[in-house]
Structure 1
Amino acid sequence: MNNIHIRLADWQRDNADLQRIREAVFITEQAVPPELEWDAEDAGAVHFLACEGDYPIGTARLLTDGHIGRVAVLKDWRGLHIGAELMKAVIAEAERRGLQRQFLTAQVHATAFYERLGFTIVSDEFLEAGIPHVDMVRQSQ
């Protein structure tokens, strides 16, 4: 576990790894329909990969407006703070790009995780792909 690092990913070059992780977490585990998982935003997004050595185990993406999404860590690596490190890298990149306001749509069960990273719930609960979600926002200092 001491060889975990986060790196920027390229949608074209790293596509197989990005898709493998998101398919495992969202499509297989959470039964999100593939047509809802893949969208036109991927091509222009900044993607991130969390890797153990050379093996990608987590991902996230940042859109040009500060929207963070598609945060996923493979099941066998959960509980090891990889998601937090991944999110810290995304937030740092957003701030580096001048995006002082970051926002996301969080699965309700994960709201405490995002609150620890400075996000606040700003909506009522709603269903997305059949899963309860809320909107959350973080304002950089």
Structure 2
Amino acid sequence: MTPAVTCRVAIGQEDLDACFAVRKEVFVAEQGVPEDLEYDEYDGGAVHVLALRSVEGAPLGTGRLLLGDAAVVKNGDPDPGVGALGRLAVLAAARGLGVGARLVAAIEDAARERGLHAVDLHAQTHALGFYERLGYEAYGAEFLDAGIPHLAMRKPLR
């Protein structure tokens, strides 16, 4: 049975702590990303989105949207109308339930609300199909981030 899921922009320290705990579980514990690489100087100015199980409010996933100069650094495009989606993470027990797609939609909504016309991301290569199904297109050469192969992707917002 698919759980009822709520996705929303994180508000307050409790929500941010939940976002960071999900990221630690997925990226640091599961994927072996060093903790000092997982958390960066962009977290403070990012729009964090949190997925919660609607019934009891347990965190299921998270992602962030970078704006302005932080997005330019991440996506390499000086266009201030392009945001950077990143740090998308869904706990293992919630995978395959549509949580990731709901998080991406919520991040895209946050981007639209801030007047952005496109979203870029750096996808782990194993996740390309997921992002392609959501309308993202890969561009450029494969690169390593924290020792994991990635491709840049972009989606225009309508």
> TM-score over 0.5 for the alignment?
yes
Contact map agreement 1:105 1:135 (CA 8 A) in 2: yes
How much identity, in percent, do the aligned residues show?
45
- Residue by residue over 1:62-119, the C-alpha shift from the partner in whole angstroms, topping out at 9 and shown as x without a partner, is 0114000000000000001110011011111111211111000000000111111111
Other-structure match for 2:65: 62
Query: Is the 1:11–1:43 Cα contact (8 Å) retained in structure 2?
Result: no
Residue pairs, 1:16-95, within 5 angstroms:
16-53=17-54, 54-65=57-68, 66-95=83-112
> How far apart are residue 16 of structure 1 and its match?
2.0
Q: Structure 1 unaligned runs (5+)?
A: none
Does the Cα contact within 8 Å between 2:16 and 2:48 map onto a contact in 1?
no
User: Which of 140, 152, 156 pairs up with 1:123?
Assistant: 140
With normalisation by structure 1, the TM-score equals: 0.95
Segments ≥4 residues shifted beyond 2 Å: 10-13
CA 1:49–1:107: 2 relative to 1, 3 Å = same
Distance 2:101 2:157 in 1: 17
Q: Distance in 2 between matches of 1:27 and 1:90?
A: 22
- Alignment length (residue pairs): 141
Asked if the contact 1:104–1:137 (Cα under 8 Å) also holds between the matched residues in 2, the reply is yes
CA RMSD of aligned residues (A): 1.2
Pick from 101, 105, 129 the counterpart of residue 118 of structure 2.
101
- Secondary structure of the equivalent of 1:113? helix
* Aligned residues of 2:120 and 2:152 also touching (Cα < 8 A): yes
How far does residue 11 in structure 1 lie from its aligned partner after superposition?
Answer: 6.0
5+ residue gaps, structure 2, are 69-82
Mapped partners of 1:115, 1:88: distance in 2:
13
TM-score (structure 2 length as normaliser): 0.85
Query: Which amino acid in 1 is paired with 2:116?
Result: L
Query: CA offset at residue 13 of structure 1?
Result: 3.5
